[in-house]
Structure 1
Amino acid sequence: MLPVSHSRSHTSRYALGAEVVLAVLLVLLPLSLGGAPTWVHWPLVVLAGLAFVLACLGAWSQHRSFHLPLLALPLGAGALLCLLQLVPLPPELLSVLSPEAAGLRDFVLVPLGLEGSRPLSMEPPATWRELARYLAYLLTFVAAVQVSRSERARRRLLSTLAFTGAAVAVLGLLHALLGLDRLLGFIAFIHARPPLLTPFGNPNHLAAFLGLSATVSLGLALSSGTRLRAAPFVVATLLGGAGVLLSLSRGGIAFFVFGQLAFALLLLGRRVGTERARTWRRSGTVLLCLLAVLAVGGQIASEQLLAELETADSMEKLSHSKLELWPKVASVAKAYPLGMGRGAFESVFPRYQERPVLNTFTHPENAVLQLATEFGVPGLLLLAVGLWGFIRLARREGLGAVEWAVLAGVAALALHDLFDFSLELPASAVAAWVALACVARPDDRERCGAPRGHAPLRVLAVGGVLVALALVALIPGRSTLDEAEEELGDLVRARAPLAEVRARGLALIELHPADHALQVLMGLAHTDLGRAEAVEALGFVNRALFLNPVDARAHRVAARALLTLGQRTQAFLEYRLAFEAGDQEALWREALGRARTLEELQALTPDSARSAVLLATELMRTRRYEVAIAWLAWAREHFDAAPESVQLWERETRLRLARQEMAEAEAASAEVFRRAPDELSSYLLRADVLHAQGRRDEALESLEPLRTRFPISVELAFTLARLEVEAGLTRRARETLQHVSPFVSDLGLRAQLFMLEGSSFEKEGHRARALESWKSAVRIQPSAGLWFKVARLHESLHQLDAAARAVREGVRLQPPEQRAEGEAWVERLEAAERKRVEERRRARSGGGGSLDRVLREMAADEETGDEEDGAH
Structure 2
Amino acid sequence: MPRASRSASRFTLFAEAALAALVVGCPLALGGAAGWLLGPLVLLSGAAAVLAAIGAKRQGQSLRVPLLAVPLAAGAALCAVQLVPLPEGLLRLLSPEAAALREFALVPLGLEGARPVSLDPSATWRELAKHLAYLLAFLAAVQVCRSRSSRERLLAAVVLTGAGLTVVGLGHALLGVKSLFGLLSWTHARPPLVTPFGNPNHLAGFLALASTVGVGLALTRRQQSRTWPYALAAGLSGLGVVLSLSRGGIAFFAFGQVLLAVLLLRRRHAAGEGAPPVWARSTAALLGLLGVLMVGAYAAAEGLWAEARTADSVEKLRQSKVAQWPMLSGAARAFPMLGMGRGAFEVAFPRYQTEPNPNTFTHPENAVLQVATELGALGLVLLAVAVWAFLRLLRREGLEMVDLAVLAGVAALGLHDLFDFSLELPACAVAALVALGAVARPRERASTVEQGWCAKPAGAALGMGLSLTVVALVALVPGRHRVADAEAELARLVTSGASARDVHARGLALVDRHPSDYLLYRLMASAHAARGREGAGEALALVNRALYLAPLDASSHRVAARALLALGRSAQGFLEYRLAHEAGDSTVLLGEALPQVESLASLTVLTPEAPATAVRLLDSLANTPGRLELALAYSRWARERFEGGPEAAALWAREARLQLRKGALEVADAACARVERLAPDALETHLLRAEVLRAQGRRQDALQALERLLARFPGNVALSFQLAAQQLDAGLTRRAKDTLQALAPFITDYAQRARLLSMEAACLEREGLLSHALERRQTAARLAPGAEAFFAVARTQEALRRYDAAARSVHEGMRHLPAGARTEARAWAARLEGAERERVDARRKALVDDPRAAELEYLLRNPDEDGEARDAQ
State TM-score, norm by structure 2: 0.83
Q: Which of these residues, 475, 484, 489, is aligned with residue 487 of structure 1?
A: 489
Aligned to 2:167: 170
The count of residues paired between Structure 1 and Structure 2 equals 785
| CA distance in structure 2 between the aligned counterparts of 1:185 and 1:46, rounded to whole angstroms | 30
Aligned to 1:391: 391
Query: Against the structure 1 CA distance between its residues 227 and 687, is the aligned structure 2 distance closer, same or farther, given a 3 Å change threshold?
Result: farther
CA contact (8 A) 2:80 2:128 kept: yes
Aligned to 2:516: 514
| CA distance in structure 1 between the aligned counterparts of 2:26 and 2:215, rounded to whole angstroms | 22
Structure 1, 654-663 or 51-60: larger mean CA deviation: 654-663
Structure 1, 215-224 or 722-731: larger mean CA deviation: 722-731
CA distances 1:575-596 after superposition (whole Å, capped 9, x unpaired):
1111111122322222222222
Q: Which of these residues, 684, 687, 704, is aligned with residue 690 of structure 2?
A: 687
Aligned amino acid, residue 571 of structure 2: T
CA distances 1:528-576 after superposition (whole Å, capped 9, x unpaired):
3354532122111222222122221221111111122111222111111
| CA distance in structure 1 between the aligned counterparts of 2:535 and 2:747, rounded to whole angstroms | 54
| CA distance in structure 2 between the aligned counterparts of 1:148 and 1:21, rounded to whole angstroms | 13
SS at match of 2:56: helix
| CA distance in structure 2 between the aligned counterparts of 1:152 and 1:294, rounded to whole angstroms | 30
Shift of 1:707: 5.9
Work out whether 1:31 is the aligned partner of 2:28. yes
Identity percentage over the alignment? Answer: 54
SS at match of 1:495: coil
Q: Which of these residues, 157, 160, 178, is aligned with residue 160 of structure 1?
A: 157
| CA distance in structure 2 between the aligned counterparts of 1:277 and 1:741, rounded to whole angstroms | 78
Query: Against the structure 1 CA distance between its residues 372 and 645, is the aligned structure 2 distance closer, same or farther, given a 3 Å change threshold?
Result: same
Aligned amino acid, residue 396 of structure 1: R
Aligned amino acid, residue 312 of structure 1: A
| CA distance in structure 1 between the aligned counterparts of 2:358 and 2:590, rounded to whole angstroms | 19
Structure 1, 582-591 or 440-449: larger mean CA deviation: 440-449
Matches within 5 A, 1:707-856: 710=713, 715-716=718-719, 744=746, 746=748
State the Cα RMSD in Å: 3.6
Matches within 5 A, 1:53-72: 53-72=50-69
Work out whether 1:91 is the aligned partner of 2:94. no
CA contact (8 A) 2:159 2:233 kept: yes
Aligned amino acid, residue 321 of structure 2: K
Work out whether 1:533 is the aligned partner of 2:532. no
Matches within 5 A, 1:439-838: 439-446=439-446, 453-529=455-531, 531=533, 533-623=535-625, 624-658=627-661, 662-691=665-694, 695-706=698-709, 710=713, 715-716=718-719, 744=746, 746=748
Aligned to 2:43: 46
Query: Against the structure 1 CA distance between its residues 631 and 24, is the aligned structure 2 distance closer, same or farther, given a 3 Å change threshold?
Result: same
CA distances 1:481-528 after superposition (whole Å, capped 9, x unpaired):
221111112222223233322222112112111111111112112223
| CA distance in structure 2 between the aligned counterparts of 1:449 and 1:367, rounded to whole angstroms | 29
Query: Against the structure 1 CA distance between its residues 681 and 227, is the aligned structure 2 distance closer, same or farther, given a 3 Å change threshold?
Result: farther
| CA distance in structure 1 between the aligned counterparts of 2:521 and 2:247, rounded to whole angstroms | 38
Shift of 1:75: 0.6
CA distances 1:694-753 after superposition (whole Å, capped 9, x unpaired):
5442123224554676567565466557767877989998998999999x5947699699
CA contact (8 A) 1:260 1:290 kept: no
Query: Against the structure 1 CA distance between its residues 730 and 248, is the aligned structure 2 distance closer, same or farther, given a 3 Å change threshold?
Result: farther
Aligned to 1:336: 335
Shift of 1:77: 0.5
Shift of 1:688: 3.2
Aligned to 2:851: none
Aligned amino acid, residue 567 of structure 1: R
Structure 1, 238-247 or 753-762: larger mean CA deviation: 753-762
| CA distance in structure 1 between the aligned counterparts of 2:210 and 2:566, rounded to whole angstroms | 60
Query: Against the structure 1 CA distance between its residues 492 and 629, is the aligned structure 2 distance closer, same or farther, given a 3 Å change threshold?
Result: same
Aligned amino acid, residue 679 of structure 1: A
Structure 1, 173-182 or 554-563: larger mean CA deviation: 173-182
| CA distance in structure 2 between the aligned counterparts of 1:98 and 1:751, rounded to whole angstroms | 60
| CA distance in structure 1 between the aligned counterparts of 2:68 and 2:591, rounded to whole angstroms | 57
CA contact (8 A) 1:135 1:470 kept: yes
Shift of 1:290: 3.8
CA distances 1:237-262 after superposition (whole Å, capped 9, x unpaired):
22212221222111111001111111
Aligned to 1:312: 311
CA contact (8 A) 1:728 1:763 kept: no
CA distances 1:660-709 after superposition (whole Å, capped 9, x unpaired):
66555444333322321121111122223434555442123224554676
Query: Against the structure 1 CA distance between its residues 761 and 564, is the aligned structure 2 distance closer, same or farther, given a 3 Å change threshold?
Result: closer
SS at match of 1:67: strand
Shift of 1:151: 1.0
| CA distance in structure 2 between the aligned counterparts of 1:749 and 1:494, rounded to whole angstroms | 35
CA distances 1:397-434 after superposition (whole Å, capped 9, x unpaired):
22222111111110000000011111000111001000
| CA distance in structure 2 between the aligned counterparts of 1:197 and 1:664, rounded to whole angstroms | 64
State TM-score, norm by structure 1: 0.83
Shift of 1:389: 1.2
SS at match of 2:552: coil
Aligned amino acid, residue 3 of structure 2: H
CA distances 1:357-390 after superposition (whole Å, capped 9, x unpaired):
2112111111111111111111111111111111
Query: Against the structure 1 CA distance between its residues 289 and 617, is the aligned structure 2 distance closer, same or farther, given a 3 Å change threshold?
Result: farther
Aligned to 1:371: 371
Query: Against the structure 1 CA distance between its residues 129 and 756, is the aligned structure 2 distance closer, same or farther, given a 3 Å change threshold?
Result: closer
| CA distance in structure 1 between the aligned counterparts of 2:44 and 2:375, rounded to whole angstroms | 27
SS at match of 1:337: coil
Structure 1, 662-671 or 588-597: larger mean CA deviation: 662-671
Work out whether 1:119 is the aligned partner of 2:116. yes
Matches within 5 A, 1:252-291: 252-271=249-268, 272-274=271-273, 278-291=277-290
Aligned to 2:359: 359
| CA distance in structure 2 between the aligned counterparts of 1:428 and 1:580, rounded to whole angstroms | 39
Q: Which of these residues, 123, 128, 132, is aligned with residue 129 of structure 2?
A: 132
Query: Against the structure 1 CA distance between its residues 108 and 294, is the aligned structure 2 distance closer, same or farther, given a 3 Å change threshold?
Result: same
Aligned amino acid, residue 439 of structure 2: V
Aligned to 2:350: 350
CA distances 1:136-183 after superposition (whole Å, capped 9, x unpaired):
000111111111111111111111111111111222222222222222
Query: Against the structure 1 CA distance between its residues 438 and 709, is the aligned structure 2 distance closer, same or farther, given a 3 Å change threshold?
Result: same
CA contact (8 A) 2:725 2:759 kept: no
| CA distance in structure 1 between the aligned counterparts of 2:342 and 2:500, rounded to whole angstroms | 34
CA contact (8 A) 1:367 1:420 kept: yes
SS at match of 1:146: helix
| CA distance in structure 2 between the aligned counterparts of 1:60 and 1:343, rounded to whole angstroms | 36
Aligned to 2:796: none
Shift of 1:633: 2.2
Give the unaligned 5+ runs of structure 1. 789-810, 822-872
Shift of 1:94: 1.2
Give the unaligned 5+ runs of structure 2. 791-808, 817-831, 833-873
SS at match of 1:375: helix
Query: Against the structure 1 CA distance between its residues 756 and 505, is the aligned structure 2 distance closer, same or farther, given a 3 Å change threshold?
Result: closer
CA contact (8 A) 2:82 2:118 kept: yes
CA contact (8 A) 2:750 2:783 kept: no
| CA distance in structure 2 between the aligned counterparts of 1:753 and 1:534, rounded to whole angstroms | 42
Structure 1, 528-537 or 95-104: larger mean CA deviation: 528-537
Query: Against the structure 1 CA distance between its residues 631 and 79, is the aligned structure 2 distance closer, same or farther, given a 3 Å change threshold?
Result: same
CA contact (8 A) 1:733 1:760 kept: no
CA contact (8 A) 2:45 2:137 kept: yes
Structure 1, 385-394 or 642-651: larger mean CA deviation: 642-651
| CA distance in structure 2 between the aligned counterparts of 1:289 and 1:746, rounded to whole angstroms | 51
Aligned amino acid, residue 670 of structure 1: A
Query: Against the structure 1 CA distance between its residues 349 and 112, is the aligned structure 2 distance closer, same or farther, given a 3 Å change threshold?
Result: same
Shift of 1:294: 2.8
